[in-house]
Structure 1
């Protein structure tokens, strides 16, 4: 018996108020889509995962699934039903026995729920995870209540919805183009009996900006291992016309000497993040003896350190950077540096602190021979 998870991620999903489709929004270092995919990839009874996407989002998709072993993505349609139909048709070359169809915007689907759906499919052609409705439900017209619905006869539908593959494929072929709201609606239209299993209250669908914040709080709640890392770096001045600091270029009568772009601020931040997860230092990952890193932009180093935090299932809680020099002045560039660092780390600006100070003309920085930087990073990891 084989089972394929078909994840639907072709929608625009803009009700979050963000420019990206919601499935590509990152929360604590992972996109919503990646979290949904991971839930199925990590389940022992799922053999393959296939994602239905919009062609316009292909680059976003490729970045989100980097390193994963998935079936080739399938181009979706203008309606959800068409997208699912396209996904089902893509599996005909090596048809599975069962298919679980899941909305990408439900990233908290748990293994127990997936198992319940699969267990129920052993004796049914279609399975719907659902929750009882707690609130009273009313009908209305012209801003007036016109009646009430019996909540004892109503459930809230969730995904993944499970099916025997030939049954749901035939139903989609028969009723293509009817724009039905979900796949159990297609099954019901085809006269297929749908069995129910208990859903999960945590398996909510992300739709609004409030849902994004709710998801972030849920993830943070489980990241109870709080780590702190410290970074320090120094670069000397040499002849030039500007310095790279905090990911931005600042016009100056000198530049910083180094194998890469010598961004002393990003180097200190990189070491702080690596230190927080015990992953050595910047030289371990990007040795100056390697010609690949000659004149390389240091945002690559910082982004790599952030990816290692994300790979551990963690998130960056806060970074604090202090740049130590007589010149150039940091104050006029602080806001731009905060924005750029937040962009590289994919965190909000409020989680980035940038400060500038001097040594009151003392030492090598006081003599204008170079720039030093100190950084502290706080990350949250799962226990």
Structure 2
């Protein structure tokens, strides 16, 4: 999978978490209940915060849930730049989505994804499909085949006619739309006094737009009833550890010599220096080493195989494209990047003053939390080419998680 280019659509996500969650039984509203390390809300938010194609995330909550929201998202770590302030919802799901859309007006996204906080098991691949479907069709909803026999039930509780399940789909979220068209549809529905739509696909169709159905995921269940919150059932239903239990590591190493220039690019950050780094691209030793580490963990060649220096397309290229491509390949395999770690080797320039900026940039490129990125530096005690200040090197490792496959032994 190729990385996004400059023409990629700007994508935002609205996460619906304003309901009372009363069908889940006594206790906290379901969106704030824990499932492993996270609450449902935090797990759902993490899906979009970690996805590199999503640039803005808004969580819609009830007015009485501000404290519960703050406690729930605390597990996400330091505030993510993508995550805006919580948005206060309305009396219905439809009103809450409208509030979420209005909060994004100044961001002017091209595509908006609307997702239920109670669906924490969706995958990055599903988000990819949602974005692609909306870009192509304007409005799209995920659906899964109905596997149970479905029948009508009479007023007396008796069994009625069997419904042809082959012609039906159970709809899920995230539902995806062109932002301007969905915002307009919500405004028109509000003006018409319509506040009874239970999903945005139905509202979008009411406004006269076509809505496509793309392939959903059976694992993308909506947690609603008390029995679904049983710990054992949740573990069986799709906890991330079980879903991606094939843990792999890879390493990468890169070297570039100093040449003419007044700065070097390290970890995606421009650092002032008396020299530049020589290379076909921007010679970012950190991103090159990390790219090889991710590709190594995936067993998918190396940076030279995918971006050969003999190809003039990559002359002077931003190395962020290389790392983004490697991460996209992990996502395409149904996996996630769990951690990235790199050590810069050289006498100068000093990494310490720029460490946090490098961590933030690497996290942004990889679509992961900053807490999952390590950046360190060391010297060679003036030994070798690095000790003689002839260039820089970087040693990296990557940990990824993939689903188990038939080749696992």
TM-score (norm 2): 0.54
Match among 50, 53, 74 for residue 61 of structure 2: 53
Q: CA deviation at 1:29?
A: 2.1
* Secondary structure, counterpart of 2:185 in structure 1: helix
Displacement of 1:32 in angstroms is 0.7
SS at match of 2:118: coil
Q: 1:1-383 counterparts in 2 under 5 A? A: 1-66=9-74, 67-69=78-80, 70-141=83-154, 142-176=156-190, 177-213=194-230, 214-217=233-236, 218-219=238-239, 221=242
Which residue does 2:376 correspond to in 1? none
SS at 1:122's partner residue? helix
Q: How much has 1:180 moved relative to structure 2?
A: 0.6
For 2:223 and 2:10, the matched residues in 1 are separated by 29
Structure of higher CA gyration radius: 1
- Residue 44 of structure 1, CA deviation: 0.9
Q: Deviations over 1:248-294 (max 9, x none)?
A: xxxxxxxxxxxxxxxxxxxxxxxxxxxxxxxxxxxxxxxxxxxxxxx
Number of residues paired by the alignment? Answer: 231
Return closer, same or farther for 1:119/1:26 CA change in 2, 3 Å cut-off: same
Alpha-carbon spacing, 1:223–1:121, altered in 2? closer, same or farther (3 Å) = closer
User: Unaligned 5+ residue runs, structure 1?
Assistant: 226-310, 313-381
Alpha-carbon distance, 1:116 to partner: 0.6
> Aligned equivalents of 1:178 and 1:192: distance in 2?
18
Q: Per-residue deviation at 1:14?
A: 2.2
> Deviation of residue 215 (structure 1)?
2.1
Unmatched 5+ stretches in structure 2: 1-8, 247-370, 373-400, 403-409
Q: Distance in 1 between matches of 2:135 and 2:212?
A: 11
Can you list the C-alpha shifts for 1:346-367, whole angstroms capped at 9, x where unaligned?
A: xxxxxxxxxxxxxxxxxxxxxx
Q: Secondary structure at the match of 2:242?
A: helix
RMSD: 2.3
Report the TM-score, using the length of structure 1 for normalisation. Answer: 0.57
Q: CA deviation at 1:203?
A: 0.5
SS state at 2:24 partner: coil
* Cα deviation code 1:90-139 (max 9, x no counterpart): 11122111000000000011000000111122211101110111222111
In the aligned structure 2, how far is the partner of 1:175 from the partner of 1:91? 19
Residues in 1 aligned to 2:195 and 2:61: alpha-carbon distance in whole angstroms: 20
